[in-house]
Amino acid sequence: MSKLGPSPVTEYLRRVVEDLRPLTDGTVNNSVPELAAADENIVGIAVATVDGALYQAGDTKLEFCIQSISKAFTYAQALTDRGPEGVFEKIDVEPSGDAFNEISLQPETGRPANPMINAGAIAATSLVRNTSHGTRMERILRLHSRCAGRQLRINKNIQSQEHKAGDRNRALGWLLASRGIIEGDPTGALEDYFGQCSIMLNCVDLARMGATLAAGGRNPVTGERVLDPEVVSDVLSVMSTCGMYDDAGRWAIRVGLPAKSGVSGGVVTVLPGQLAVAVFSPPLDRHGNSVRGVAACERLTKDLDLHFARTE
Ligand code: GLN
């Protein structure tokens, strides 16, 4: 048999995509018009390794807005700017078991339970510093871009839709301000949170971003050190306990790897030291996680034997 032709890994990913297409459960998110208009049939998978290899199948060139996946990267920037203790003072790291937009802060401290729910994410955004190297928003966008290995951009139209639909997030922002978790007026932090949710990327970008985390903070393609290994270790730990919202426990059993999802239908899963898998498919389950994204990660974990708790 000839060894020439598509890589067997690519062939395998193509099979997974074709197997996933008929899965029609779930509904697309309708919190803003741009998301409500998403095509339900889209499925893309990309795998990026820490040595720079990339495998992809399906609709991997289509751009989508990152939504809550940005929470992991903005948290990384907050940790970089304030140090772990400075951030921990304001945001806890315990799974909440609540929905991602739950209006809840810890009664004694006022801290959000973790940085992967909206309350914690808005607090994390507020902790990113404005510096002489750029505004908070520019620095958040730059971090995402450096992890992806190319310049990403914000979709201003989506940002304004997020702003219009943002009453609940504004309520969270003011609640955080009332407890001193955000200092002063939270309006600016909220606007930057809407901006970070509106960063556009495709499946390949997302896989590269995950691979940068898998590689301890060094982008495997550009070679740039983007984040410190200590920061990455904290981010991946929080992703493993809180990245899939109130489905994190079941995710641990089904996939058992750090991951982050967003309501546009993206999911990134990281195997530290090895690779990242990114999936984009808009229909969501009741937790707000991509149905095909979860199914794809489960399938890859099984087929490639990636689950941390499997001994044989
Ligand atoms: N923009 C959405 C929100 O703030 C992001 C939520 C998500 O992706 N889970 O509610």
Per residue in 235-255, pLDDT (tens digit) is 999 999 999 988 989 999 999
ipTM above 0.85, yes or no: yes
Q: How many domains are there within the chain? A: 1
Domain that holds residue 248: 8-304
Per-residue pLDDT tens over the stretch 280-305: 999 999 999 999 999 999 999 999 99
Residue type, 81: D
| Residue 257: CATH number of its domain | 3.40.710.10
pLDDT (tens digit per residue) in 260-269: 999 999 999 9
Task: State the Rg of the chain over Cα.
Answer: 18
Which atom of ligand 1 lies nearest, measured to the CA of 69? 8
Does residue 215 lie within any of the structural domains? yes
Q: Has 219 been labeled as part of a binding site?
A: no
**Residue 257 belongs to some domain of the structure:** yes
Strand blocks (E) in 118-222: 153-154, 199-201
Tell whether 204 is in a known binding site. no
Closest CA to 122 of 135, 103, 138: 103
Ligand 1: lining residues by beta carbon, under 6 Å: 67-68, 100-101, 118, 162, 169, 197, 262-263, 288
CA of 117 to the centre of ligand 1 (A): 9
Residue 309 lies in a domain: no
* 21 is a domain residue: yes
Task: Give the residue from 121, 79, 98, 109 showing the smallest Cα distance to 217.
Answer: 79
DSSP string, 88-141: HTT-------S-TT-----TTT---S-TTSHHHHHHHHHHSPPBTTB-HHHHHH
Quick check: is 2 in a domain? Answer: no
Given this model, what pLDDT does residue 2 score?
58
Report pTM. 0.97
Give a yes or no: residue 312 inside a domain: no
Q: Which two tokens stand for residue 57?
A: 């199948």
Average pLDDT of the residues of the chain: 96
How many other CB atoms sit within 10 Å of the CB of residue 115?
31
Atom number of ligand 1 nearest to Cα 262: 8
